Copies of this chain bind each other. A is one copy, B any other.
């Protein structure tokens, strides 16, 4: 039997499972079908780029989790999960992308074989990868079960990070610092955007301080000039220009743990408006950080941030942050609380979020954002990158 290379102790996985079961019990859920790749990894260690086919981790009323997926990916499960091989179940390749046969028919058989076919089953209803067809197929194949929406149930267990998780995020933070340093060092007017992104990727994957870089759940977002008024454009081969701002929304990643951080680069003397926006963002972030401490609500940070921003003549309609940690594409957020008004999530030591005060201007944007850890007494920025508009040339 292969010994898997686990990122955490078996004890840590067991603690996570116990915590999840407690939350299942509170919701009256006996069996949980987990399709979010980050939740699958958090509960079992499973790691592989196989979420483009149907797969799940099933946590029944008793026992360890079961890994279920395409048979060939069962080999990857054997090499990455903490459970013994009799907890790994693969379906035949004929189920793959075949309109005649849905893999969830096979999962239903597995659930029934455990005797769980008549239990109250929780599903991650709004998770990427749990499609409408998967839902209909599973419900049809288990007529004796009753169903609950367990979307976010495991995500919420992940909110407070363990010591080892924080260690991985600190390593990721050093990697993103290096990525921003690489941008400052190598970006020049006239350089093609994709050549700069190639440098960013090289820095990201080679890692920092002896710790290797993993792939980010969102590719580098790096729009320039007016393109930067749109938040989620990627790149092409347009040349960097004097008199134009480019924002870099990027993350360092170590063992799937993310530290996102953004900076904005300007070639030449930034216009007054950019300097005013920079000052407003920094002052508003400081006001928000003062509210980032155990016992406060998530909204307290947003209210302090937004009121300071408004006082200085700027507005931001969208949320100014979200939780981060372990993730898989297409999102590095944990999708639980948000830093926005009316979010009464109570902050606790060990929570980590991306403080994301992006400011959209008519003709571009300013992004100076940070990965933040809630400590026993307040909050810590995991990065030391200078918090300012980066100006070159």
Contacts and interface: CB of A to CB of B under 8 A. Distances in A.
A150 B253 CA distance: 37
Given A96-B319, A132-B126, A79 B227 contact: yes
Nearest to A220: B215
Contacts of A48: 230, 232-234
Interface in A153-202: 192-195, 197-199, 201-202
A367 interface: no
A93 B232 contact: no
Contacts of A203: 198
Interface string A118-155: 00000101111111111110000000000001011000
Interface string A240-283: 00000000000000010000000000000000000000000000
Contacts of A2: 226
Contacts of A211: 237
B330 A221 contact: no
Contacts of A221: 49
A131 B130 contact: yes
A300 interface: no
B128 A132 contact: no
B125 A128 contact: no
Interface stretch (A21-29, A68-76, A345-353): A68-76
Contact of A99 (B152, B195, B213, B214): B152
A229 interface: yes
A65 interface: no
B198 A202 contact: yes
A314 interface: no
A97 interface: yes
Contacts of A94: 340
A202 B127 CA distance: 32
A202 B212 CA distance: 16
A50 interface: yes
Interface in A65-123: 71-73, 75-76, 78-80, 93-94, 96-99, 102, 123
A40 to B, nearest CB: 13
Interface string A277-301: 0000000000000000000000000
A207 interface: yes
Contacts of A52: 128, 218, 330-331, 333
B232 A50 contact: yes
Which residue, of A72, A123, A129, A151, has the highest number of chain B Cβ atoms within 10 A?
A72
Contacts of A310: none
A61 interface: no
10 contacts: A52-B333, A75-B229, A76-B232, A76-B233, A79-B233, A102-B126, A131-B131, A132-B134, A201-B202, A329-B329
Given A5-B236, A52-B330, A125-B132, 20 more contacts: A47-B234, A48-B233, A49-B218, A52-B333, A72-B231, A72-B232, A72-B360, A93-B317, A96-B319, A97-B335, A98-B338, A102-B126, A130-B131, A132-B132, A194-B206, A194-B213, A197-B205, A198-B201, A215-B234, A236-B255
